[in-house]
Amino acid sequence: MSQPSAFGPDLVEVFGPSQRDGGPDLVQLLTPEGERVHHPEFDLDFPADQLRGMYRDMVLTRRIDTEATALQRHGELGIWAQLLGQEAAQIGAGRALRPQDYVFPTYREHGVAWCRGVDPLDLLGLFRGVDHGAWDPRENNFGLYTIVIGAQALHATGYAMGIQRDGAVGTGDPDRDAAVVAHFGDGASSQGDVNEAFIFAASYNAPVVFFCQNNQWAISEPIERQSRIPLYQRALGFGFPGVRVDGNDVLATYAVTQAALQRAREGSGPTLVEAYTYRMGAHTTTDDPTRYRLSDDVEHWKLKDPIARLEVYLRRNGLVDDAFVADLKAEADDLGHRLREGCKALPDPKPLDLFAHVYAEETDELRRQREGYAAYLESFEGSHS
């Protein structure tokens, strides 16, 4: 029997040795060694262009994350939520979407934002503190980042019930039928909002996919302290299916998410997808994970790197070469340069902008507040004249 960790019981002690690498129900199409395997329910054929595209997405998403982390260290961002190691989970889920589908993210879905066409510079504005999110959610069907843990699960379920009542589910028209995705982490699964969303989604058969990136850590709390069973199995208690997928396998994540989205669009209700992955970096740039987790675990998961395994597969099958990789690196360098320069050039917000997006129609009370604050600001201008 294994000895208890200095940080408390480990995953094997709670879930058993079969769960260390995701367990027997883990859906996987690409092994950590880059070997293509098949699954009886979720197997797909991936064209070469699609594989290269997902590899590019992951490389560029990692570069966004690396640059943003460096910008925070240099004082250009107040904070940054890293996604290192979770690129496959996000790109697989993001590329499975159709244009009419809608996404409700947390504050870490930088890869999904990339897939939805959100300029990564707009993400930086939020973490720089110059805006509350500079993209239009209606333009990309990608909601603003949600900082309140788990709240977006309720938003997603309500939106899904709305499109259900709009007649945009189960029509058989692939250009009309829509689904909603709620992203959250393993820590949020312990929140009441998420469980209430499960209840409403099940009761009303809402077309929503609950996509949980189980990166093993809710800040400093390990998954073993949050659940006594694997997270995907919780779905059965609410009355809808749950699937655990290898969240470091972009092919499997794409296949499982695509199936769950199609099930929702057809009117068959919600699905819980648990993307079993690992947070290789810190929770945010204010966090020091060496205080609560073992370096052996990090080293173990480095061998499952989502980008490395896909590159091995692509090279082994002659789908990319050194020139392709070099061109992609140059593209990533250009992206990094644009983010560095663009971040520093982001304009500071105007004080009166505070009142601009409170209500669609300004109330009398808000107008009085705005006018009073404007007069207060003008008093400073007069003192310098």
Instruction: Answer yes or no: 98 catalytic.
Output: no
pLDDT for the residue 19: 57
pLDDT for the residue 382: 60
Catalytic residue among 62, 110, 283, 309: 283
Alpha carbons 134 and 121: distance in angstroms, whole number: 9
Instruction: Answer yes or no: 359 catalytic.
Output: no
Q: With a cut of 50, which residues of the chain have pLDDT below it?
A: 1-5, 7, 384-385
Q: Distances from the Cα of 205 to the Cαs of 96, 138, 212, 343, in angstroms?
A: 21, 24, 19, 43
Catalytic residue among 95, 183, 234, 279: 279
Q: Which helix (H) or strand (E) holds 242?
A: strand 242-246
* 169-178 CB contacts, 8 Å cutoff, 24+ apart: 169/207, 169/264, 169/265, 169/266, 169/267, 170/265, 170/266, 170/267, 174/98, 175/100, 176/100, 177/100, 177/265, 177/266, 178/98, 178/100, 178/101, 178/102, 178/207, 178/265
Instruction: Answer yes or no: 279 catalytic.
Output: yes
Q: Judging by beta carbons within 10 Å of its beta carbon (0-12, 13-18, 19+), is residue 12 exposed, middle or buried? A: middle
Catalytic residue among 292, 293, 338, 340: 292
Provide the 8-state DSSP code for 132: S
pLDDT for the residue 3: 46
pTM score, whole prediction: 0.91
The predicted-structure confidence for 164-205, as pLDDT tens digits, reads as follows 999 999 999 999 999 999 999 999 999 999 999 999 999 999
Alpha carbons 160 and 300: distance in angstroms, whole number: 38
Alpha carbons 108 and 112: distance in angstroms, whole number: 9
pLDDT for the residue 263: 98
Domain locations in the chain as residue ranges: 24-345, 351-384
| Fold of the 24-345 domain | Rossmann fold (3.40.50)
